[in-house]
Amino acid sequence: MEEIVTGKQMKELDAYTIETMGVPSLVLMERAGLQVFESMKKEGLPLSKVLVLCGSGNNGADGVVIARLLFLAGYQVHVCILGNPEHFTKEMKTQIEIGRNYGISFVKTFCVHEYTTIVDALLGVGLSREVSGLYRETIEKLQDFSGKIAAVDIPSGIDADTGAVWGCAVRADLTVTFAYKKAGLCLYPGAAYAGKLLTADVGIYHKDKRSPELFACTDRELKKLTRKPDGNKGSFGKVFLAAGSREIFGAAYLSGQAALRSGAGMLKLCTPKENRGLFTCFPEAMLALYEDAADMENLVRENLCWADVAGIGPGLGTSPQAERLLETLLKYADKPLVIDADGLNLLKGKEKLLKSCKAPVILTPHLGEFARMTGISVKEWKKNPLTITKETAKKLGVLLVCKDARTIISRGTEETCINLCGNDGMATAGSGDVLTGLILGLLAQGLSPWEAACTGVYLHGKAGDLAAEKKGRAAMLAGDILEAAGEILKEL
């Protein structure tokens, strides 16, 4: 997994490295500047004439280092320092003095069109208020700039914790962030302002390995998924999935296929009797058919005995049968239960039943479903997604997967997972059904609910990226994500 930090945590780590480990602040800064300089070259930014815009804090001081390194390498470079000299940090004063000794050019005014690349070192993780005055005017001027922009640590104007824009912000082509990704670079809109995001090691260190509060999955988590050579279909797990309705059949098919494609041994689909004929195209699935609400109790209890994991929701509809099915599952489930789509819509008013469920419950709402379920608007969630997801998970006593361009996963504890892969091609009908199936498949193979949710979302995102590569973001279908998930697991 990859740790992600807030601005405050980053400042604490900086301070620890400097004060406890004894690494001078200027050493960290030199490494930071060098990493940005090297990245700009490696990424092929046009460096024939560069302007470095610096603020009065240490982000600005990094900027002066970058200007010096460019100057020494023979590039034409100008530095413009904004901000009140009375507020310069001690490192900033030192860097200006060193820069003067080398003879780099400091300018007071500039015309953006003269430059091929601009380095944004105005504001870093120390941004503390709305951007106004000269900083704002300067950031607005960059909107007309047709060259490339490289941001130091974080695009100026982006909140390091939430990704929100403080009045206005720099739209970078490249952001080189130090030591850890900042939460604000992972959440939208900050993620969009960052452009290509690189994380650079500058020597930040902490003796005590803390478990991260916020993290993203990486391929390392996927590589933990192994098959047992002597396993059988029982040992790879049995999935019971209540999905599909008279009107909708495809969702059950996609979800069920995803459960099997992610490696589950057996699948039983619980669906209305009149759907029987439709499933001839899905011979791998067993069927548990129901006719009316009265059938439910025995059917659910028998199948819960058989299954290792249960899911409900994709294409389920909101009929009285569907509602009864959900209630019965909540009443009797003693194995992990995943609730998605219409299962979530039917949950409204059933908080008590949900809380009394003996099984670990995973809810996978997209933001519309989340808003209907909780009364918290999409706008409100987007302002503070990490905290709201955590508090809602805690309040409901569930593991919550809030699906969005950056899906957030919480079980109400201190640790939160954010997914950094995937793309807008995944905003296509049935994509969420595939995710439900993947999580079920991983649960069936023995992953804990937390591992299955975090790894399942990551696998889904990776599969979305592979599908986009093959079919294009506009043309890809949920079925392509499903197929790609299988290919990714094969590559492991």
Ligand X SMILES: NC(=O)C1=CN([C@@H]2O[C@H](COP(=O)(O)OP(=O)(O)OC[C@H]3O[C@@H](n4cnc5c(N)ncnc54)[C@H](OP(=O)(O)O)[C@@H]3O)[C@@H](O)[C@H]2O)[C@@H](O)CC1
**Residues at the site binding ligand ADP, with contacts judged by CB under 6 A:** 341, 366, 403-405, 407, 422-424, 426-427, 429-433, 435, 460
Query: Residue 416 in contact with residue 410, Cβ under 8 Å?
Result: yes
Strand partners, 311: 241, 338
- Does position 128 bind ligand X by CB under 6 A? yes
User: CB 430 → ligand ADP: shortest distance, Å?
Assistant: 5
Q: Which of K ion, ligand X, ligand ADP, none does residue 427 bind (CB under 5 to 8 Å by kind)?
A: ligand ADP
Please, what is the Cα angle at 72 between 67 and 76, to 5 degrees?
60
Q: Which of ligand ADP, K ion, ligand X, none does residue 120 bind (CB under 5 to 8 Å by kind)?
A: K ion
User: CB 324 → ligand ADP: shortest distance, Å?
Assistant: 23
Q: Which of K ion, ligand X, ligand ADP, none does residue 405 bind (CB under 5 to 8 Å by kind)?
A: ligand ADP
User: CB 287 → ligand ADP: shortest distance, Å?
Assistant: 22
- Does position 20 bind ligand X by CB under 6 A? no
- Does position 87 bind ligand X by CB under 6 A? yes
User: What span, in angstroms and rounded, lies between the C-alpha atoms of 215 and 5?
Assistant: 8
Q: Which of ligand ADP, K ion, ligand X, none does residue 321 bind (CB under 5 to 8 Å by kind)?
A: none
* Number of amino acids touching K ion (CB under 5 A): 4
- Does position 95 bind ligand X by CB under 6 A? no
Q: Which of ligand ADP, K ion, ligand X, none does residue 422 bind (CB under 5 to 8 Å by kind)?
A: ligand ADP
Q: For residue 301, how many other CB atoms are within 10 A of its CB?
A: 12
Footprint on residues 166-225 left by ligand X (CB under 6 A):
166, 178, 202
User: What span, in angstroms and rounded, lies between the C-alpha atoms of 28 and 208?
Assistant: 20
125 marked ligand binding residue: yes
- Does position 125 bind ligand X by CB under 6 A? yes
- Does position 29 bind ligand X by CB under 6 A? yes
Q: Which lies closer to ligand X via its Cβ, residue 158 or residue 396?
A: 158
Q: Which residue has the tokens 């098959």?
A: 227
Q: Which stretch binds ligand X (CB under 6 A): 122-130, 188-196, 233-241, 378-386?
A: 122-130
Residue in 4, 28, 67, 217 binding ligand X, rule: CB under 6 A: 28
464 marked ligand binding residue: no
Query: Residue 155 in contact with residue 133, Cβ under 8 Å?
Result: no
Footprint on residues 134-173 left by K ion (CB under 5 A):
151-152, 156
State the residue number with the nearest CB to ligand ADP.
432
Q: Which lies closer to ligand X via its Cβ, residue 166 or residue 236?
A: 166
User: What span, in angstroms and rounded, lies between the C-alpha atoms of 456 and 398?
Assistant: 17
- Does position 194 bind K ion by CB under 5 A? no
Q: Which of ligand X, ligand ADP, K ion, none does residue 449 bind (CB under 5 to 8 Å by kind)?
A: none
Residue in 14, 91, 120, 404 binding K ion, rule: CB under 5 A: 120
126 marked ligand binding residue: yes
Which residues carry a binding-site annotation for (6S)-NADPHX?
A: 58-62, 124-130, 135, 153, 251, 315, 366, 433
Which residues carry a binding-site annotation?
A: 58-62, 120, 124-130, 135, 153, 156, 251, 315, 366, 403-407, 432-433
Residues within the interface to ligand X (CB under 6 A): 14, 25, 28-29, 32, 55-60, 62, 87, 89, 123-131, 135, 152-153, 166, 178, 202
Which residues carry a binding-site annotation for AMP?
A: 403-407, 432
